Amino acid sequence: MRTEMNQYFAGVDIGSTMTKVVIVNEGLRASVVGPTGPEHRKLADKVMEEALEHAHLAFDDLTYIIATGYGRINVPFADKQITEITCHAKGLHSLLPTARTIIDIGGQDSKGIRIKNGKVIDFVMNDKCAAGTGRFLEIIADALNVPLDALGALSVSAEKVTPIANTCTVFAEQEVVSQLANGEPLASLTAGIHDAVAARICAMVNKLKIEQDVAVTGGGAKNIGLVKALEKRFGFALLVPHEPLLTGALGAALMAKELFQNAWAKGEKLKRSGEGLKEASLFL
Amino acid sequence: MAEDKKPRTLATESAGKIAKFVRGNMASTLKAREEGKKVAYTYINDGQDEIIRAMDIVPAYGESFAGVCAAKRDAEKYLQKAEAENFSRSLCTYATCTIGFDVWREELGGQIPPETPWGGMARPDMIIGSAQQLCDPRFKWPQATQHYLQDVPVFVGSMYYPPWDPNMDHKDQEKLYVKYAADELRELVLFCEKHTGKKMDWDRLATIVDLTDRTWDLFIETYELRRAIPTPMDTGDAMNTMVPVTFNLGTQEAYDYYVMLQEELKRKIEQKKGVAENEKYRVVWGAGLPSWFALSDFQYFNDKGVVFPVEVTYRNAEKLDRLDLPKTNDPLEHIAWRWVRFWTHWYEKARRRPGSLPKVERIIEYLEDYNCDGVVFHSAFSCRSWHAGIVQQAQVLKKVYGDIPTLIMEGDIVDISSYNEIDTHNRIDAFVETLEAHKKRTN
Amino acid sequence: MTGLQATFDLATADRYYREYGSRAKELKAAGNKIIGYLSALAPVEIMTAAKAVPVRLKGDVSQPITKADAYMETIVCPFVRNVFDSALKGNFNFLDGMVLPHQCDSIDRTSDVWNYSLKLPYWHFLNMPHVTDGPSVEFTKEILRIFIASLEKFLGTKITDQALAQAVKDHNENRRLMRGLYNLRRGDTPLITGVEMMKVLVACMSLPVTESSALIEGVTRQVKEREISPRGKVPRIMIVGDQLDDIAVIDTIEKAGAALVMDDISIGSKVYWPDVDDTADPVSGLAERYLKKLKIPTTFVSEGANYRENLEARFGHLKQYIDDFNINGVILFTYKYCDPYGFDIPAVKSFVESSGVPVLYLEDEYSTSTLPRIKTRIEAFMEMIV
């Protein structure tokens, strides 16, 4: 369906650590990633503002807005909330249409999603245990005094993988520190940590009937060490989208477009939130 | 690192011989088919051993297999396989480890998965479980396994005993329970006959039952030698020496093993050879299955002068004359009496001490008989059957017996992923200080 | 709050739901004996025949456990721990006693903890077996007789066969009425929501049988008068689990745009579907129902010539409900640390899925603290099946 020239759809993905906004028209119009901070409400506005600025749009130009992610309920200007499972599937499918299984590795949770013909047919989540999420890597990076960005590259350089048995973050941290003190090479330890996270993610995803192609998205997909560790466990290569942080917001924007245009075609009009972005005017 | 760990020092040579027993048990399941025998997945302490042995069925114990995987710190791959099937990680890890192995073996068309500890176990011809008093997995696990081995027949019997009630004399209900248990054993005989195509040889069964009686007596007699000061063997070894009476009950090999163990213990006592260099504190292992991947923690205890002359765990036997069993010509009824009387053995004592519990009476009996100064409990997260109620046991013990040092350790039987050695050792250190302080006070 | 309700309707159910045990307190003050119990296995007919009031205990999912941990391990079923915690906090001070059936390890292995901590005047552990063969049925009859004798002793009364037969009639009638209320959810426009139904189920388990029946009748009359406009296509959900006794999860399901039209939970259809047969010896009919007719995972079902037939014997009723109530999605709701339900998951999930209905498996902790996580999964499931 062709997008009307003046129809713009926005997706707002409020993750536990990062907020992402994507605005689409025919194609991608703007995308912004910002920190979520402790108050979702406040910073969602800010990130949206930034996105609108990049898109050279005013808030009122937006036709329909969908919020997704952990904090989706705290976006008063969103017209609808849809879970990140549905949105990641939608977004990833538009970027990598051959993917049948999606693994989303976030800062505080991870998910496995099976899609068929672009629709979610099964999913599984881990949002309880840090061991299969970015949080685990963050804590270890801290303990090892290695910047999080460098952690993945370091693990890939390792000659061997030191197995880490503990999945409890606190204990694993202790285990790593004590191994380091015993002379275990730093690279091997980081490889072990990445494998431990990969193991937990695989244990979760294996609950689905995995079908290739398998794609990885979310913050974890930017960590080359984690992707490699996952590929090793699966035994085949994984697809990674160009901008893994944006698939949720992209999916939300595409859902907004789809829902709105479907309703339009039936002659229906979708209910809007009626909330503005801010009291003050956006443009000077 | 696991590979660098020094092998744990065993106090007895006999304990060192157990590995052969366990490997032999697992191997016998793999050889069974060519020997024309049937293999049954089964579970311990359900009173079914003699019937299975009398029918020449080869028992395969997941509890043993999972213990081996855990001891080798190689259970995680099986636990993950079960997890992928949607079995929660909070379930009995003896079960999930074995089920994970079963699922994998089925995926390979019945071939043993690569790198399975000690060759694994054969695909069973039948599964014999028991919905007995104290362990739900022993009937849920067989049922869950059948989902993956759908052509394998499953039998679930029952072995109930009168529940503890301070206001009721359990003896009033004994006959009811013994009849029920014996009837259920009869059902098992029918099941075995059906699936082996053979009839039960009742004389042979009677002989095996008699052998079990004598094994129980010998086993307890042998263990009671550990009263000696210094103790010639502690729980670290007992987690090995329990194998024959638990997994080989009803066989001559099991009996002969305890003959050998007894001789060794007598020799050690003569030579005044203890477990620890310096035996400072004697402690009862009050309850709980051990962490099979951390048996070296017993070494840690020993190095600090703490020894365990006696444990409750895997000591599911008693001298028959103490159980005062009624005479019967029916071997099934005899088995039923033996188990019902064993599980209720400490009720009488508990009734005589207001506020007490049978499990606590057992601990008190051991504290006194074995001259012990404290109690250690281990709470395994995946097993409610043996570990729910430990907090109460420790409290009641202190209440009815006196302020005695107790330690409750936390971990699991098979799942190492939540085990922390440093944390565990810290707790042990703190406990040793408590023992020290208590000793000073009472001296 | 004064005496017997004049009207029985949804507002009554709501009140008894929110002020759980309030009626029992009144009855206690009026001189009745109140016996608390856990699980679907407690033979309420026996307590009713003894002229005691059976009250099924529940916890409070919005209350964190604060006292129980000093006495009971955290690896015990979170539901059992929560109810125990609630009892320690005095919420069941109106009880004269408890009967604890042997449902599972979490109950069997903590029976002494309950008994010794609560120190109630009457305590009975009902040793129901897990298997259902001939010897087990006979054994169950004896176990029930032992319970009857112990209750007679405590109450100083005789429980006659006539009294039992009458109690059986009353409870069967109660179950029939409840099934009638459930039937109002079969059509395209269910006359009662899942949230309302949960309140009715919870209210009823705290009332004497005749008052429970009156409440069900009142609610049925009330909702039959309703005029509900059709909602259009809305996912029709069935929830399967043990003791769910709070509206939080139900509300989450219905706010996600679905209608909860059926359940297979232990305070719901599990107890209201099977009746007690009218046998010459009432204990016989009771043993048959509690051991063989109740479909709970702690009772081992061996029927069936092969595995598929056995699955039908164990879970066939779920397929029946799916047909009768036109179910689009099933939510399996279990608690962490629950071996009986946990070991069943692969079998029951595949059984339901084989009938073409998608399944969402949730493992929870009997606490609203996990609600945000549950919410996302439920919403994603609804988005998936629509």
How much is the ipTM here?
Answer: 0.96
- Tens digit of pLDDT for each residue in A62-108? 999 999 998 898 888 999 999 999 999 999 999 999 999 999 998 88
Confidence of residue A180 (pLDDT cuts 50, 70, 90): confident
| Inter-chain touch A174–B420, beta carbons under 8 Å | yes
For chain B, domain boundaries: 2-442
Residue C292 domain-assigned (yes or no): yes
Average pLDDT, chain B: 95
Residue span of the structural domain in which C377 resides: 229-385
Paired residues of A104 in beta bridges: A111, A217
pLDDT at position B4 is 40
Cα atoms found within 13 Å of the Cα of residue C381, Cβ hemisphere only? 29
Residue C69 domain-assigned (yes or no): no
User: Closest Cα of chain C to A254: distance in Å?
Assistant: 15
User: Closest Cα of chain C to B251: distance in Å?
Assistant: 29
Distance between CA B325 and CA B334 in Å, rounded? 8
CB C45 within 8 A of CB C162: no
Q: Is C369 on the interface with A (CB under 8 A)?
A: no
> Which residue, among A101, A168, A188, A201, would best test binding to B if mutated, counting the most B CBs under 10 Å from its CB?
A168
- Tens digit of pLDDT for each residue in B313-369? 999 999 999 999 999 999 999 999 999 999 999 999 999 999 999 999 999 999 999
Those of residues 172-231 in A touching chain C at CB distance below 8 A are: none
| pLDDT digit string (tens) for chain C, length 386 residues | 445 656 899 999 999 999 999 999 999 999 999 999 999 999 999 999 999 999 999 999 999 999 999 999 999 999 999 999 999 999 999 999 999 999 999 999 999 999 999 999 999 999 999 999 999 999 999 999 999 999 999 999 999 999 999 999 999 999 999 999 999 999 999 999 999 999 999 999 999 999 999 999 999 999 999 998 888 889 999 999 999 999 999 999 999 999 999 999 999 999 999 999 999 999 999 999 999 999 999 999 999 999 999 999 999 999 999 999 999 999 999 999 999 999 999 999 999 999 999 999 999 999 999 998 999 999 999 999 98
Q: Name the strand (E) or helix (H) holding B14.
A: helix B13-16
> Which residue, among A115, A123, A126, A259, would best test binding to C if mutated, counting the most C CBs under 10 Å from its CB?
A123
Give the type of residue at C26.
E
| Inter-chain touch C384–A120, beta carbons under 8 Å | yes
Distance between CA C241 and CA C297 in Å, rounded? 10
Q: Name the strand (E) or helix (H) holding C380.
A: helix C371-385
Q: Is C105 on the interface with A (CB under 8 A)?
A: no
Residue C65 domain-assigned (yes or no): no
Shortest CA distance from B420: residue in chain A: A171
Greater pLDDT, B6 or B431: B431
Q: Is A213 on the interface with B (CB under 8 A)?
A: no
Tell me which residue of C63, C66, C127, C53 sits closest to C95, measured CA to CA.
Answer: C53
| Inter-chain touch A86–C377, beta carbons under 8 Å | no
| Inter-chain touch C146–B173, beta carbons under 8 Å | yes
User: Closest Cα of chain A to C381: distance in Å?
Assistant: 8
| Inter-chain touch C76–B134, beta carbons under 8 Å | no
> Which residues of chain A have a CB within 8 Å of the CB of C379?
81-83
Residue C137 domain-assigned (yes or no): no
Q: Is B98 on the interface with C (CB under 8 A)?
A: no
Transcribe B117-151 into DSSP letters.
GGG--PPPSEEEEE--TT-THHHHHHHHHHTTSTT
Residue B77 has pLDDT above 80, yes or no: yes
Contacts of A42 by beta carbon, 8 Å cutoff, 6+ apart: none
- Tens digit of pLDDT for each residue in B121-143? 999 999 999 999 989 999 999 99
> Which residues of chain C have a CB within 8 Å of the CB of A116?
none
CB A90 within 8 A of CB A255: yes
| Inter-chain touch C384–A121, beta carbons under 8 Å | yes
| Inter-chain touch B84–A175, beta carbons under 8 Å | no
Q: Is B1 on the interface with A (CB under 8 A)?
A: yes
| Inter-chain touch A123–C380, beta carbons under 8 Å | yes
Q: Which candidate from B87, B187, B387 shows the least CB-CB separation from C133? A: B187
> Which residues of chain B have a CB within 8 Å of the CB of C334?
88
Q: What is the 3-state secondary structure (H, E, C) of A163-191?
A: CCCCCCHHHHHHHHHHHHHCCCCHHHHHH
* pTM: predicted TM-score of the whole model, two decimal places: 0.95
Distance between CA C68 and CA C86 in Å, rounded? 8
> Which residues of chain C have a CB within 8 Å of the CB of A84?
376
Distance between CA B199 and CA C172 in Å, rounded? 46
User: Closest Cα of chain B to C347: distance in Å?
Assistant: 6
Q: Which candidate from A165, A178, A206 shows the least CB-CB separation from B84? A: A206
pLDDT at position A40 is 62
- Tens digit of pLDDT for each residue in B143-194? 999 999 999 999 999 999 999 999 899 999 999 999 999 999 999 999 999 9
Residue C291 domain-assigned (yes or no): yes
pLDDT at position B7 is 57
Q: Which residue has the tokens 């008052």?
A: C211
Paired residues of B283 in beta bridges: B374
Tell me which residue of A249, A246, A116, A135 sits closest to A201, measured CA to CA.
Answer: A135
Shortest CA distance from C307: residue in chain B: B150
- Tens digit of pLDDT for each residue in A238-255? 999 999 999 999 999 999
Q: Is B423 on the interface with A (CB under 8 A)?
A: yes
Strand spans (E) along B93-248? 126-130, 154-157
Residue A5 has pLDDT above 80, yes or no: no
- Tens digit of pLDDT for each residue in B365-420? 999 999 999 999 999 999 999 999 999 999 999 999 999 999 999 999 999 988 88
CB atoms inside a 10 Å sphere around CB C313: 14
Q: Is A116 on the interface with C (CB under 8 A)?
A: no
Q: Is C130 on the interface with B (CB under 8 A)?
A: yes
Q: Which candidate from B133, B139, B180 shows the least CB-CB separation from C300? A: B139
CATH number (domain holding residue C334): 3.40.50.11900
Q: Which residue has the tokens 């086993």?
A: B219
User: Closest Cα of chain A to C50: distance in Å?
Assistant: 47
Q: Is C383 on the interface with A (CB under 8 A)?
A: yes
Alpha carbon B366 to its chain centroid, in Å, reads: 18
Domains of chain A: 8-87+246-265 (3.30.420.40), 100-240 (3.30.420.40)
Phi, psi of A125 (to 5 degrees): -135, 150
CB C214 within 8 A of CB C171: no
| Inter-chain touch B73–A165, beta carbons under 8 Å | yes
Q: Which residue has the tokens 């052998």?
A: B211
> Which residues of chain B have a CB within 8 Å of the CB of C340?
136, 140
Number of A/B CB contacts below 8 angstroms equals 43
Tell me which residue of B333, B342, B39, B60 sits closest to B186, measured CA to CA.
Answer: B333
Instruction: Name all chains with 3 or more CB-CB pairs below 8 Å to chain B.
Output: A, C
Q: Is A66 on the interface with C (CB under 8 A)?
A: no
Confidence of residue A175 (pLDDT cuts 50, 70, 90): confident
Contacts of B306 by beta carbon, 8 Å cutoff, 6+ apart: B276, B280, B281, B283, B428, B432, B435
- Would you state the torsion angle of the CA atoms of residues A232, A237, A238, A243, taken in this order, to the nearest 10 degrees? 110
Greater pLDDT, B204 or A49: B204
| Inter-chain touch B76–A165, beta carbons under 8 Å | yes
Q: Name the strand (E) or helix (H) holding B283.
A: strand B281-287
Q: Is C373 on the interface with A (CB under 8 A)?
A: yes
Q: Structural domain tally of chain C?
A: 1
- CA end-to-end span of chain B: 41
- Pairing relationship of beta strands A18-24 and A28-35 according to DSSP bridges: antiparallel
Helices (H), B242-355: 243-247, 252-270, 296-303, 320-323, 331-343, 347-352
User: Closest Cα of chain A to B276: distance in Å?
Assistant: 28
Q: Which residue has the tokens 């890597």?
A: A137
